[in-house]
Amino acid sequence: MPLHELGYRTWDGHRSSPLLRPLVVARGGISLVLKSRWLRLGFLLAWLPVILPTIGIFLFEYSITNPNLSRGVSNIFRGPLQRPDLAQQVLEDPAGARHEVWTLFILTFFRYPQLFAMVCLIGLIAPLLVSYDLRTKAYLMYFSRPLSPTEYIIGKSAVIWFLLGMIVTVPGLALYFVGVLLSPDFSVVPETWDIPFRILGASVVLLVPTTFLAIAYSSLTSENRYATFAWFATWVMGFVSYQILTFSPAAMADRAPRRRRRGGIDWEEMGIDLDRWRLLSPYHTLGKAEAWVFGLDPTEGSVIPAMTVLIVVSVASFWLVRRRLIAKLKA
Protein backbone atom coordinates (compact mmCIF):
# COMPACT_ATOMS: atom_id res chain seq x y z
CA MET A 1 0.00 0.00 0.00
CA PRO A 2 1.56 3.35 -0.99
CA LEU A 3 2.02 5.99 1.69
CA HIS A 4 1.03 9.50 0.69
CA GLU A 5 2.57 12.64 2.10
CA LEU A 6 -0.44 14.63 3.25
CA GLY A 7 1.18 16.74 5.96
CA TYR A 8 1.59 20.51 6.03
CA ARG A 9 3.22 21.98 3.00
CA THR A 10 4.53 25.42 2.32
CA TRP A 11 2.43 27.72 0.22
CA ASP A 12 3.91 27.87 -3.28
CA GLY A 13 1.45 30.30 -4.82
CA HIS A 14 1.88 34.03 -5.19
CA ARG A 15 1.09 36.01 -2.01
CA SER A 16 0.25 39.65 -1.76
CA SER A 17 2.42 42.01 0.28
CA PRO A 18 2.25 41.44 4.07
CA LEU A 19 1.04 45.02 4.43
CA LEU A 20 -1.97 44.37 2.22
CA ARG A 21 -3.06 41.04 3.69
CA PRO A 22 -4.97 42.52 6.65
CA LEU A 23 -6.98 44.51 4.13
CA VAL A 24 -8.78 41.34 3.08
CA VAL A 25 -9.94 40.74 6.66
CA ALA A 26 -10.79 44.42 7.06
CA ARG A 27 -12.75 44.64 3.81
CA GLY A 28 -14.98 41.72 4.78
CA GLY A 29 -15.57 43.14 8.25
CA ILE A 30 -16.33 46.65 7.01
CA SER A 31 -18.84 45.50 4.43
CA LEU A 32 -20.50 43.33 7.07
CA VAL A 33 -20.85 46.03 9.72
CA LEU A 34 -22.01 48.62 7.21
CA LYS A 35 -25.02 46.42 6.52
CA SER A 36 -26.28 47.24 10.01
CA ARG A 37 -29.04 49.82 9.98
CA TRP A 38 -28.12 50.84 13.53
CA LEU A 39 -24.59 51.60 12.56
CA ARG A 40 -25.52 53.66 9.55
CA LEU A 41 -27.83 55.69 11.79
CA GLY A 42 -25.00 56.01 14.32
CA PHE A 43 -22.72 57.35 11.59
CA LEU A 44 -25.23 59.99 10.69
CA LEU A 45 -25.71 61.07 14.29
CA ALA A 46 -21.95 61.05 14.95
CA TRP A 47 -21.43 63.67 12.26
CA LEU A 48 -24.01 66.08 13.67
CA PRO A 49 -21.83 67.59 16.45
CA VAL A 50 -19.35 68.93 13.87
CA ILE A 51 -21.85 71.69 13.15
CA LEU A 52 -21.18 73.43 16.49
CA PRO A 53 -17.39 73.94 16.18
CA THR A 54 -17.89 74.90 12.53
CA ILE A 55 -20.25 77.67 13.61
CA GLY A 56 -17.78 78.60 16.37
CA ILE A 57 -14.85 78.98 13.95
CA PHE A 58 -17.04 80.91 11.52
CA LEU A 59 -18.22 83.30 14.24
CA PHE A 60 -14.67 83.80 15.47
CA GLU A 61 -13.36 84.57 11.97
CA TYR A 62 -16.33 86.85 11.28
CA SER A 63 -15.74 88.68 14.57
CA ILE A 64 -12.23 89.64 13.40
CA THR A 65 -13.72 91.65 10.55
CA ASN A 66 -16.78 92.69 12.54
CA PRO A 67 -15.64 93.77 16.04
CA ASN A 68 -19.27 94.13 17.25
CA LEU A 69 -19.36 90.34 17.50
CA SER A 70 -16.13 90.05 19.51
CA ARG A 71 -17.72 90.29 22.94
CA GLY A 72 -20.30 87.61 22.15
CA VAL A 73 -17.63 85.29 20.77
CA SER A 74 -15.36 85.86 23.75
CA ASN A 75 -18.22 84.79 26.01
CA ILE A 76 -18.11 81.34 24.39
CA PHE A 77 -14.56 80.95 25.70
CA ARG A 78 -15.30 82.46 29.07
CA GLY A 79 -18.43 80.33 29.65
CA PRO A 80 -18.89 76.94 28.00
CA LEU A 81 -15.22 76.39 27.05
CA GLN A 82 -13.96 77.62 30.45
CA ARG A 83 -11.01 79.62 29.08
CA PRO A 84 -11.29 83.20 30.40
CA ASP A 85 -7.66 83.88 29.42
CA LEU A 86 -8.41 83.04 25.80
CA ALA A 87 -11.59 85.11 25.94
CA GLN A 88 -9.48 88.12 26.91
CA GLN A 89 -7.01 87.44 24.11
CA VAL A 90 -9.86 87.14 21.59
CA LEU A 91 -10.87 90.68 22.58
CA GLU A 92 -7.37 92.12 22.57
CA ASP A 93 -5.52 90.25 19.79
CA PRO A 94 -7.92 88.04 17.82
CA ALA A 95 -5.43 87.22 15.04
CA GLY A 96 -2.89 86.09 17.62
CA ALA A 97 -5.52 83.88 19.26
CA ARG A 98 -6.51 82.19 16.03
CA HIS A 99 -4.39 79.06 16.32
CA GLU A 100 -5.47 78.41 19.89
CA VAL A 101 -9.11 79.12 19.11
CA TRP A 102 -9.15 76.68 16.22
CA THR A 103 -7.35 73.93 18.08
CA LEU A 104 -9.58 74.45 21.10
CA PHE A 105 -12.70 74.02 19.00
CA ILE A 106 -11.29 70.92 17.32
CA LEU A 107 -10.05 69.47 20.61
CA THR A 108 -13.46 70.06 22.19
CA PHE A 109 -15.02 68.24 19.24
CA PHE A 110 -12.59 65.35 19.71
CA ARG A 111 -12.89 65.31 23.45
CA TYR A 112 -16.63 65.35 24.08
CA PRO A 113 -19.04 64.31 21.32
CA GLN A 114 -16.60 62.20 19.32
CA LEU A 115 -15.17 60.38 22.31
CA PHE A 116 -18.70 59.52 23.40
CA ALA A 117 -19.58 58.43 19.86
CA MET A 118 -16.36 56.42 19.73
CA VAL A 119 -17.21 54.56 22.95
CA CYS A 120 -20.70 53.76 21.67
CA LEU A 121 -19.59 52.71 18.19
CA ILE A 122 -16.81 50.47 19.44
CA GLY A 123 -19.31 49.03 21.94
CA LEU A 124 -21.56 48.21 18.99
CA ILE A 125 -18.95 46.63 16.75
CA ALA A 126 -15.84 45.45 18.56
CA PRO A 127 -17.26 42.90 21.03
CA LEU A 128 -18.42 40.75 18.13
CA LEU A 129 -15.28 41.01 16.02
CA VAL A 130 -13.22 38.24 17.59
CA SER A 131 -15.69 36.60 20.01
CA TYR A 132 -18.03 35.73 17.16
CA ASP A 133 -15.18 34.13 15.23
CA LEU A 134 -14.23 32.14 18.33
CA ARG A 135 -17.80 31.03 19.03
CA THR A 136 -18.57 29.97 15.46
CA LYS A 137 -15.01 28.68 14.91
CA ALA A 138 -14.73 31.06 11.94
CA TYR A 139 -11.14 31.80 13.01
CA LEU A 140 -10.22 28.38 11.62
CA MET A 141 -11.35 29.57 8.22
CA TYR A 142 -9.01 32.56 8.43
CA PHE A 143 -6.04 30.55 9.62
CA SER A 144 -6.52 27.80 7.06
CA ARG A 145 -5.22 30.50 4.71
CA PRO A 146 -1.64 31.72 4.85
CA LEU A 147 -2.54 34.49 7.29
CA SER A 148 -0.64 35.19 10.49
CA PRO A 149 -2.34 36.06 13.82
CA THR A 150 -0.78 39.54 13.63
CA GLU A 151 -2.27 40.12 10.18
CA TYR A 152 -5.62 38.88 11.45
CA ILE A 153 -5.53 41.25 14.44
CA ILE A 154 -4.51 44.20 12.30
CA GLY A 155 -7.27 43.33 9.83
CA LYS A 156 -9.90 43.18 12.56
CA SER A 157 -8.61 46.40 14.13
CA ALA A 158 -8.68 48.08 10.75
CA VAL A 159 -12.46 47.58 10.68
CA ILE A 160 -12.72 49.80 13.75
CA TRP A 161 -10.04 52.21 12.56
CA PHE A 162 -11.95 52.75 9.35
CA LEU A 163 -15.24 53.39 11.14
CA LEU A 164 -13.70 55.63 13.77
CA GLY A 165 -11.68 57.45 11.17
CA MET A 166 -14.95 58.20 9.45
CA ILE A 167 -16.47 59.74 12.57
CA VAL A 168 -13.40 61.31 14.18
CA THR A 169 -10.58 62.03 11.74
CA VAL A 170 -12.57 62.82 8.62
CA PRO A 171 -14.95 65.26 10.33
CA GLY A 172 -11.97 66.78 12.19
CA LEU A 173 -10.15 67.41 8.92
CA ALA A 174 -13.38 68.57 7.28
CA LEU A 175 -13.83 71.00 10.16
CA TYR A 176 -10.38 72.45 9.54
CA PHE A 177 -10.90 72.84 5.79
CA VAL A 178 -14.37 74.33 6.24
CA GLY A 179 -12.76 76.69 8.77
CA VAL A 180 -10.30 77.81 6.10
CA LEU A 181 -13.13 78.32 3.62
CA LEU A 182 -15.09 80.37 6.16
CA SER A 183 -12.12 82.63 6.89
CA PRO A 184 -11.73 86.08 5.35
CA ASP A 185 -8.76 84.99 3.20
CA PHE A 186 -6.11 82.30 2.78
CA SER A 187 -3.69 84.05 5.11
CA VAL A 188 -5.03 81.78 7.87
CA VAL A 189 -3.33 78.75 6.27
CA PRO A 190 0.28 79.68 7.22
CA GLU A 191 -0.92 80.28 10.80
CA THR A 192 -2.80 76.99 11.12
CA TRP A 193 -1.01 74.59 8.77
CA ASP A 194 -0.02 72.26 11.59
CA ILE A 195 -3.60 71.61 12.74
CA PRO A 196 -4.37 68.80 10.21
CA PHE A 197 -1.24 67.00 11.43
CA ARG A 198 -2.33 67.44 15.01
CA ILE A 199 -5.74 65.99 14.06
CA LEU A 200 -4.02 62.94 12.58
CA GLY A 201 -1.82 62.61 15.67
CA ALA A 202 -4.77 62.89 18.04
CA SER A 203 -6.64 60.31 15.96
CA VAL A 204 -3.81 57.83 16.38
CA VAL A 205 -3.73 58.49 20.13
CA LEU A 206 -7.47 57.91 20.31
CA LEU A 207 -7.86 55.00 17.93
CA VAL A 208 -4.96 52.64 18.58
CA PRO A 209 -5.22 51.93 22.34
CA THR A 210 -9.01 51.89 22.39
CA THR A 211 -9.24 49.52 19.44
CA PHE A 212 -6.70 47.07 20.78
CA LEU A 213 -8.33 47.12 24.20
CA ALA A 214 -11.77 46.42 22.73
CA ILE A 215 -10.39 43.63 20.55
CA ALA A 216 -8.64 42.14 23.59
CA TYR A 217 -11.93 42.05 25.51
CA SER A 218 -13.58 40.44 22.52
CA SER A 219 -10.91 37.75 22.32
CA LEU A 220 -11.30 36.82 25.99
CA THR A 221 -14.84 35.50 25.66
CA SER A 222 -17.08 33.76 23.20
CA GLU A 223 -20.10 35.51 24.72
CA ASN A 224 -20.05 39.01 23.34
CA ARG A 225 -22.13 40.40 26.22
CA TYR A 226 -19.14 40.02 28.53
CA ALA A 227 -16.93 41.88 26.05
CA THR A 228 -19.54 44.64 25.67
CA PHE A 229 -19.93 44.88 29.42
CA ALA A 230 -16.16 44.97 30.01
CA TRP A 231 -15.81 47.74 27.45
CA PHE A 232 -18.43 50.00 28.99
CA ALA A 233 -17.45 49.08 32.54
CA THR A 234 -13.87 50.17 31.84
CA TRP A 235 -15.01 53.67 30.88
CA VAL A 236 -17.63 54.00 33.60
CA MET A 237 -15.48 52.66 36.42
CA GLY A 238 -12.47 54.69 35.31
CA PHE A 239 -14.50 57.88 35.03
CA VAL A 240 -16.22 57.38 38.37
CA SER A 241 -12.94 56.51 40.12
CA TYR A 242 -11.25 59.64 38.82
CA GLN A 243 -14.13 61.92 39.69
CA ILE A 244 -14.59 60.53 43.18
CA LEU A 245 -10.93 60.35 44.16
CA THR A 246 -10.12 63.75 42.68
CA PHE A 247 -13.07 65.79 43.84
CA SER A 248 -14.71 64.00 46.80
CA PRO A 249 -11.97 64.69 49.37
CA ALA A 250 -12.12 68.36 48.43
CA ALA A 251 -15.91 68.38 48.58
CA MET A 252 -15.91 66.70 51.98
CA ALA A 253 -13.26 69.08 53.26
CA ASP A 254 -15.46 71.93 52.06
CA ARG A 255 -12.82 73.22 49.65
CA ALA A 256 -14.84 72.88 46.44
CA PRO A 257 -17.20 75.66 45.30
CA ARG A 258 -20.77 74.97 46.48
CA ARG A 259 -22.40 76.28 43.35
CA ARG A 260 -21.17 76.39 39.81
CA ARG A 261 -19.61 79.74 39.08
CA ARG A 262 -19.65 81.58 35.82
CA GLY A 263 -16.47 80.83 33.89
CA GLY A 264 -13.82 78.26 34.60
CA ILE A 265 -12.85 76.89 37.98
CA ASP A 266 -9.17 76.79 38.74
CA TRP A 267 -9.15 73.50 40.60
CA GLU A 268 -5.39 73.39 40.93
CA GLU A 269 -5.41 76.74 42.67
CA MET A 270 -7.82 75.19 45.16
CA GLY A 271 -5.28 72.51 45.95
CA ILE A 272 -6.82 69.77 43.82
CA ASP A 273 -4.29 67.76 41.81
CA LEU A 274 -6.06 66.97 38.55
CA ASP A 275 -3.32 64.60 37.42
CA ARG A 276 -2.96 62.48 40.54
CA TRP A 277 -5.64 59.90 39.72
CA ARG A 278 -5.80 60.52 35.98
CA LEU A 279 -4.32 57.20 34.94
CA LEU A 280 -7.24 55.34 36.50
CA SER A 281 -9.58 56.76 33.88
CA PRO A 282 -9.20 56.01 30.17
CA TYR A 283 -11.30 59.08 29.44
CA HIS A 284 -9.07 61.46 31.36
CA THR A 285 -5.85 59.77 30.24
CA LEU A 286 -6.86 60.12 26.60
CA GLY A 287 -7.92 63.69 27.30
CA LYS A 288 -4.48 64.58 28.63
CA ALA A 289 -2.71 62.97 25.66
CA GLU A 290 -5.01 64.56 23.09
CA ALA A 291 -4.72 67.98 24.69
CA TRP A 292 -0.94 67.63 24.59
CA VAL A 293 -1.06 66.70 20.89
CA PHE A 294 -3.09 69.85 20.22
CA GLY A 295 -0.73 71.89 22.38
CA LEU A 296 -3.46 72.72 24.87
CA ASP A 297 -2.55 70.63 27.90
CA PRO A 298 -4.29 72.49 30.76
CA THR A 299 -2.64 70.81 33.75
CA GLU A 300 0.81 70.95 35.29
CA GLY A 301 1.59 67.24 35.25
CA SER A 302 3.75 65.61 32.60
CA VAL A 303 2.09 63.87 29.66
CA ILE A 304 4.60 61.01 29.80
CA PRO A 305 2.67 58.81 32.29
CA ALA A 306 -0.51 59.15 30.20
CA MET A 307 1.35 58.31 27.00
CA THR A 308 3.10 55.40 28.70
CA VAL A 309 -0.19 53.97 29.91
CA LEU A 310 -1.70 54.26 26.44
CA ILE A 311 1.31 52.52 24.89
CA VAL A 312 1.30 49.79 27.54
CA VAL A 313 -2.44 49.21 27.07
CA SER A 314 -1.96 48.97 23.29
CA VAL A 315 0.99 46.58 23.46
CA ALA A 316 -0.47 44.42 26.23
CA SER A 317 -3.84 44.16 24.49
CA PHE A 318 -2.23 43.24 21.19
CA TRP A 319 -0.08 40.61 22.91
CA LEU A 320 -3.12 39.20 24.71
CA VAL A 321 -5.18 38.80 21.53
CA ARG A 322 -2.24 37.21 19.73
CA ARG A 323 -1.67 34.81 22.61
CA ARG A 324 -5.36 33.86 22.73
CA LEU A 325 -5.40 33.13 19.02
CA ILE A 326 -2.23 31.08 19.11
CA ALA A 327 -3.55 29.12 22.11
CA LYS A 328 -6.81 28.45 20.27
CA LEU A 329 -4.96 27.28 17.19
CA LYS A 330 -2.77 24.96 19.23
CA ALA A 331 -5.73 23.48 21.13
Question: Where along the sequence are the contacts to another protein (CB under 8 A)?
Answer: 38, 116, 120, 123-124, 221, 223-226, 228-229, 232-233, 236-237, 240-241, 244-245, 248-249, 251-254
**Closer residue to another protein (CB): 189 or 236:** 236
Nearest distance in Å: CB 269, another protein: 18
**Closer residue to another protein (CB): 44 or 244:** 244
Give dist(CA 273, CA 278) in Å, integer. 9
Nearest distance in Å: CB 220, another protein: 9
Give dist(CA 14, CA 38) in Å, integer. 39
**Closer residue to another protein (CB): 244 or 270:** 244
Nearest distance in Å: CB 140, another protein: 16
Asked if residues 216 and 320 have their Cβ atoms less than 8 Å apart, the reply is yes
**Closer residue to another protein (CB): 74 or 285:** 285
For CA atoms 255, 256, 258, 260, give the dihedral sign.
positive
225-246 residues labelled b (16+ CB within 10 A) or e (exposed): ebbbebbeebbeebeeebeeeb
Nearest distance in Å: CB 116, another protein: 8
Nearest distance in Å: CB 272, another protein: 12
**Closer residue to another protein (CB): 36 or 66:** 36
Q: Is 317 exposed, middle or buried (0-12, 13-18, 19+ CB in 10 A)?
A: buried
Give dist(CA 317, CA 326) in Å, integer. 14
End-to-end CA distance of the chain: 32
